[in-house]
Chain A
């Protein structure tokens, strides 16, 4: 197996970062506004803020994938990138790293911001656990969408994967509400990671990593890159 072309991979990651940085800044700003609403600790502001926060996170994840992968294929810039001295694995790693970085920036800023807002306002601290589960779902949904975008060329399937995986947050929230041991933590003053919470977080993480590994394996076996 040939070694990775690290300098070019880095250049491609930097290229994607440069292409998306303005939109990412907009996502972070919108997310900060949502956190401000949450920080008001009023019922209406909490509802509006959490809704806006989820919308921003979904938009950030979809934007990064659709711009760096789906649009690249549609705009026929993929052939230009693949004509550079890179292998399919180099391309996969550059897209994986590029997407994870461009998603991770708003994701981590908003995740840390959310936890900080919960901890430093009258909101119950147990919401930290609940919000981590929601962020875990969004991370897993992002990985599903990213994997589909890497593996499947159809724009329709990519949109379907993005929308359906993100929309699943609704039943996920409802499901969490049905698990008494979790909903009780969310209402309480303590941050408790009990067995169901750890199991769900572990499942989200394993699913995300497994999907990305599987996609890398599949990508290296593709026969066309244009």
Chain B
């Protein structure tokens, strides 16, 4: 299987922020969720992938081509929508659709009309009259209807009301059913990522702190509640919090023999539960370690 994109040793320095030594791959047909707090470097990473920003160091391959040298060919097959990307306020959505259709031969007008209906957008309305949610949906429509091989979505659901968010996620799920399409979407909403992604990458303060399959991610982590006096200091324990005799530990690289090992330490294991992605992310960031 070939890579939809491959970033190797990417560095990008700004006065207040630096993306450091990021190496990340996405296989064709995969959906990757890029999770990070605001300012983690998600947008910069996506901008590097689309050629909007040039990396100071490192190599960028997108759809088998080198960026930014081959950006024209790459951008023919890439759909990019960003939270801070705007359309022309004075023009209608139809005007934008016609502009995109005239540039991308793969524009699917039937699908575009279907999306107009599903997103409840009026094509003859000027963008100035659109709400934030409608603007986001319009941008996504312009991306999806060109049928790109790689979709790069920067915070596609941020700031949307629950209904708009649900509409966008539903359409995104449909788009993701197409196995030939690869998607990288960034979010600080781990619920969206957990719902849609095949693999998950955590970015924090410009560094990639974790990247692996979602299932393995979720399998690897457990929240164990036990009681007793001992507080084990094992490397797989990312966080241990004691409240009296109750000890809550969050474990990365969980193995089936762990409860026995805890019992051997004189602890009584009360529960072993899988963790939600949000909890894993927060624990990883707080632990300052690799997940």
Q: Contact at A80–B72, with CB atoms within 8 Å?
A: no
Within 8 A of A (CB), among B33-91: 47, 50-54, 68-73, 75-76, 78, 80, 82, 84-91
Tell me whether A77 and B88 are in contact in the complex, defined as CB-CB below 8 angstroms, given that A15-B99, A85-B103 are known contacts.
Answer: yes
Q: A-B pairs with the 3 shortest C-beta distances?
A: A76-B86, A85-B75, A223-B54
Bound Cα distance from A5 to B139, whole angstroms? 23
Q: Contact at B72–A11, with CB atoms within 8 Å?
A: no
Tell me whether A83 and B80 are in contact in the complex, defined as CB-CB below 8 angstroms, given that A2-B69, A19-B88 are known contacts.
Answer: yes
Chain B residues, Cβ within 8 Å of A19: 88, 90-91
Interface of A is mostly: loop
Chain B residues, Cβ within 8 Å of A82: 50-52
Chain B residues, Cβ within 8 Å of A83: 50, 52, 75, 78, 80, 85
Q: Contact at A226–B87, with CB atoms within 8 Å?
A: no
Is B16 among interface residues, defined by CB-CB distance under 8 A?
A: no
Which of B84, B85, B139 has the most chain A CB within a 10 Å cutoff?
A: B85
Scan A148-177; emit 1 where CB is below 8 A from any B CB, else 0: 000000000000000000000000000000
Chain B residues, Cβ within 8 Å of A75: 86, 88-89
**Among B53, B70, B73, B76, which residue has its beta carbon within 8 angstroms of that of A226?**
B53
Q: Contact at A86–B52, with CB atoms within 8 Å?
A: no
Interface size class of A (residues with CB under 8 A): 20 to 34
Interface residues of chain B, those whose CB is within 8 Å of chain A, are: 47, 50-54, 68-73, 75-76, 78, 80, 82, 84-91, 99, 102-104, 139
How far, in Å, is A224 (CB) from chain B's closest CB?
5
**Among A11, A76, A86, A225, which residue has its beta carbon within 8 angstroms of that of B99?**
A11
Bound Cα distance from A15 to B73, whole angstroms? 22
Chain A residues, Cβ within 8 Å of B51: 82, 225
Chain A residues, Cβ within 8 Å of B50: 82-83
Which residue in chain B gives the minimum CB-CB distance to A7? B103
Which residue in chain B gives the minimum CB-CB distance to A86? B72
Tell me whether A80 and B75 are in contact in the complex, defined as CB-CB below 8 angstroms, given that A224-B52, A226-B52 are known contacts.
Answer: no
Q: Contact at A77–B87, with CB atoms within 8 Å?
A: yes
How far, in Å, is B9 (CB) from chain A's closest CB?
17
Chain A residues, Cβ within 8 Å of B80: 83
How far, in Å, is A26 (CB) from chain B's closest CB?
15
How far, in Å, is A221 (CB) from chain B's closest CB?
9
Is A50 among interface residues, defined by CB-CB distance under 8 A?
A: no
Chain A residues, Cβ within 8 Å of B99: 11, 15
Bound Cα distance from A5 to B72, whole angstroms? 8
Chain A residues, Cβ within 8 Å of B68: 87
Is A125 among interface residues, defined by CB-CB distance under 8 A?
A: no
Q: Contact at B70–A2, with CB atoms within 8 Å?
A: yes
Bound Cα distance from A87 to B72, whole angstroms? 6
Chain A residues, Cβ within 8 Å of B75: 83-86
Q: Contact at B90–A90, with CB atoms within 8 Å?
A: no
Chain A residues, Cβ within 8 Å of B84: 76, 79, 226
Besides the contacts A7-B103, A11-B103, A85-B72, what 19 more A-B pairs have beta carbons closer than 8 Å?
A11-B99, A15-B99, A19-B90, A79-B82, A79-B84, A80-B85, A82-B50, A83-B50, A83-B52, A83-B85, A84-B75, A84-B103, A85-B75, A85-B103, A86-B72, A87-B68, A87-B72, A224-B52, A226-B53
**Among B54, B70, B85, B104, which residue has its beta carbon within 8 angstroms of that of A224?**
B54
